[in-house]
Amino acid sequence: MTPSGVNRPATDGLASPGMSHRSPRFVPILKDVRNRVVRCLGGDERYGSVLLGTSGTGAVEAMMGAARDPVLIIENGRYSRRLTAIAAAQGHEVRSLHVEDFDLIDEATVGRALAASPRPRTLALVHCETTTGVLAPLQGICGLAAGLGVNTMVDAVGSVGAHSPGLGQTGPDWLAAGSGKGTEAIPGLSFVVARRSLLADAEPGRAGYLLDVGRNWKAQEAGAAAHTLPIPLVVALNEALRRWESETPAARERRYTRTATALRKGLQEHGFEIVPLHEEARSNVVIPVVLPLGVDFAQVQAELVERDMEVYYSEDAQARGYFVLAHIGGVDPDAFEEFLRALTTSCRAQLTPALPQGGECRA
């Protein structure tokens, strides 16, 4: 179930008065957004942020451009493999630590990889793999890296809002996320949050000109964007961040936890089997579900769309015997029953006899 996650104040922000990104009126708005992003993610005065006019992928690419070699990447799914592809394209010296897609990342194994020679200077990972719903033990991993003097870079595009990254505690040195998903603003903007000292020392060139995080940081610190930003989206993001602050980050995380618990319970009551994950690896935003044998989930998706219900479809997941449900934004758990009835009806229509006949996740 994937609603847009956009709250009303954010959509109202799209109707903001027209202005240039170089207008004096825009300077305080840009400053507010950058400061609020840091606060909402638990950061303090040691952290700063860079706003970019891209999707979350752009922020990840900008962040990785500042990585110091060698780079160790924990690969446990599609989006962590994307980190490897980005780092390789940027010419980084890359090593990968492979973890099976549905396994909990073992901190001891990560510790040994960090201590191996030559020791990496950067560790990169995905906080929540949205293709599987697996959550990384971020605090423990970042603590291990910090103890060895290794900088951590985290793709938090899928976890933002739903899981605290712990900035200001034992959280990452660098983080990339977007205005969509748990930020609950309009997609189309992204941000990199990092320790101010690292932003100031970011080496230029790896991510190209547009996504050079150091150059963008220096321009925004001086009160101006280095490139044109979509002003209505920035104003909308500012309103969404106000709402996040008002709700409080802790309360938002609890809300996502309640939503995930309600959806898991409902799925089981309707006869679906949830892919078994270690308790610490279960995310608040994505639930992997065993696909009943004989069900074509692309057809299920098409039928749900006709009912104004959006779900993800992945050919890879279908081939491996599961599908994922993402519950992002202001989802009312009371609406789950209608959705689950529609999902069950669509699956049963493809089966003889009815749902389920014990599908097997082959991940």
> CA 9 → CA 178, 233, 236, 245, 263, distances in Å?
17, 12, 7, 13, 26
Three-state SS string over 266-334 comes to HHHHCCCCECCCCHHHECCCEEEEECCCCCCHHHHHHHHHCCCCCCCCCHHHHHCCEEEEECCCCCCHH
pLDDT band for position 165 (cuts 50, 70, 90): very high
CATH number at residue 288: 3.90.1150.10
Instruction: Answer whether residue 235 is part of any domain.
Output: yes
Last-in-domain residue among 230, 247, 264: 247
Mean of pLDDT values over 28-51: 97
Residues 212 and 271 grouped into a single domain: no
Pair 172, 203 in one domain:
yes
| Domain match, 132 and 255 both | no
Residue 256 lies in a domain: yes
pLDDT tens digits, 249-308 = 999 999 999 999 999 999 999 999 999 999 999 999 999 999 999 999 999 999 999 998
What total number of domains does the chain contain?
2
270 in the same domain as 228: no
* One domain, residues 155 and 253: no
Q: Quick check: 126 pLDDT over 50?
A: yes
pLDDT digit string, tens, across residues 8-25: 666 666 656 677 777 888
Please state the rounded mean pLDDT for residues 330-343: 86
Q: Is residue 361 part of a domain?
A: no
In this structure, the answer to whether residues 201 and 185 fall within a common structural domain is: yes
* 143 and 17 within one domain: yes
What is the distance in angstroms between the CA of the first residue and the CA of the last residue of the chain? 21
Query: Do 19 and 145 fall into the same domain?
Result: yes
Q: What is the CATH number of the domain that holds 170?
A: 3.40.640.10
Give yes or no: residues 258 and 234 share one domain.
no
Residue 344 lies in a domain: yes
pTM of the shown model: 0.93
Domain span holding position 333 = 249-349
